[in-house]
Amino acid sequence: MVSVVAFPNAVVSVVKPPTLLVLLPASQSQWCEQFSQEGYNVLHIDYPVPAGTSFRDALKDAETHIIQLGAPWGLVTYGLDNKDAETIVSRMGLSIADLKANVHFCPSAESTRGFLLKDSHGRYVPVTFHLAASQESLHALILPHEDPSSFDYELPTHSHPPVKAYTYPLMAASPPFPFGLSAPTATAKDTVTPTNSYLRSACSLSHSRTLELLRRYLGPHFNFEKLWEAHTYFEFSERNAQKTMATMVGNPYVNHIPTMTGGVGYDDLARFYKYHFTKVTPADAEMIPISRTVGSDRIIDEMVFKFHHTEEIDYFLPGIPPTGKYVEIALVGVIAFRGDKLFFEHIYWDQASLLVQVGLLDPTKLPVAGVEVARKAIDPFGMPSNTLLGRWHESEGQPIE
């Protein structure tokens, strides 16, 4: 008999976690742990079920758990086929009423039978498909259902289209492509992993898109802005490395892209924050927000960072003694969360502009600029464009249509 394995919600702040039923091989149960750290009670069925065992019995066991947990639930599958998709609908009739969202990775299916469910009002239960680009036939069958104008009911203007399919280039449909990389929770420092950029892109994007659907219809919802602002308060105001690390997951990382500074894993990052970040940030450092985008599992912050170069700033200008120069740089942060903790930071800035402003780079023969870069980021209409484009005058007066 296939037994259901439970992965309890690991986020203490989530008092009433939603439930996820996840169907994938036992060897890939790391993804169940990943979802539990996102704030879900996870029920795992080893799928495809081993020979000599009953998928129906496993679903019966899962339904018992779902009813006992007493929360709305979602279904996440990997490589599910049509027959088993239909079995879920017929076998779990008692719980289907509480099914709020479905996510299917690389269904082993030739049709949409069993995958496009409707609630008691005849409306689609929200579903997201993650397909390998080679699954063109299945994608073609899903496409008409993505258009609300084709529905036999009216979709309110405030509602999101319930059916969505994403395709990922150069990915394998069997086994489903997420199995090509470890789940983020299972990735340790110095782990040797494939460097296939398409695979990394597909795994990262599909996980964020999965959380987008699950958060929207199941929760839990986290105040990422408040969490990020607490993190930066401990970084720049209290300058307390220990409190900064307490806002992060147990195995976080920070990557300052231009200088490759930061740290991977708790120990390295705590060391970096304590000795090479909080102690070296200039006293007059100031961040001016330009824009902020809040997503299902991350924040994108666009800002201008201002300071006087009165310290040797290990993360901006490692090894460069203080010049006393005043600096303004445009900066973008990509901050990802797992549950209610920060998972990683990718920080980008214009290193050429920084080097120009502290006198380490001569801009006269290069297509780079100094403080003008940051000021144009704040005031795009107030600063001229194309000042570095020597041929700009050649197109003056030329037709544009």
pLDDT at 90: 84
Alpha-carbon span 142 to 315, nearest angstrom: 47
**Same domain for 237 and 171:** no
**Same domain for 232 and 204:** no
pLDDT band, residue 280 (cuts 50/70/90): very high
pLDDT tens digits, one per residue of 81-92: 999 999 998 887
Q: How many CB atoms lie within 10 A of CB 193?
A: 11
**Same domain for 282 and 170:** no
pLDDT above 80: residue 192: no
Q: How many CB atoms lie within 10 A of CB 70?
A: 10
Alpha-carbon span 132 to 243, nearest angstrom: 42
**Same domain for 111 and 29:** yes
**Same domain for 317 and 241:** yes
Q: How many CB atoms lie within 10 A of CB 57?
A: 14
pTM of this structure = 0.94
**Same domain for 357 and 264:** yes
φ/ψ (deg, to 5) at 268: -65, -40
| Residue 388 domain flag | no
For the four alpha carbons of 339, 341, 344 and 350, in that order, the dihedral sign comes to positive
**Same domain for 346 and 257:** yes
pLDDT at 191: 65
Over pLDDT 70: what percentage of the chain? 98
pLDDT at 52: 84
| CATH code, 152 | 3.40.50
pLDDT above 90: residue 189: no
Mean pLDDT for 252-280 is 96
- Domain of 367 in residue numbering reads as 224-378
pLDDT tens digits, one per residue of 230-242: 999 999 999 999 9
pLDDT tens digits, one per residue of 114-167: 999 998 889 999 999 999 999 999 999 999 999 999 999 999 989 999 999 999
**Same domain for 208 and 241:** no
**Same domain for 287 and 207:** no
pLDDT band, residue 105 (cuts 50/70/90): very high
**Same domain for 136 and 209:** yes
Alpha-carbon span 104 to 75, nearest angstrom: 8
Mean pLDDT for 174-181 is 95
- In angstroms and rounded to an integer, the radius of gyration of the C-alpha atoms of the chain is 25
Closest CA to 170 of 138, 198, 194, 204: 198
Alpha-carbon span 17 to 289, nearest angstrom: 33
pLDDT at 1: 60
pLDDT at 323: 97
- Looking from the CA of 289 toward its CB, the CA atoms found within 13 Å total 9
pLDDT at 186: 84
pLDDT at 190: 66
User: Residues near 287 by Cβ (< 8 Å), separated by ≥ 6?
Assistant: 232, 236, 303, 304, 305, 306, 331
Mean pLDDT for 308-334 is 97
pLDDT above 80: residue 96: no
| CATH code, 290 | 3.10.450.50
pLDDT tens digits, one per residue of 203-225: 999 999 999 999 999 999 999 99
Which amino acid makes up residue 290? I
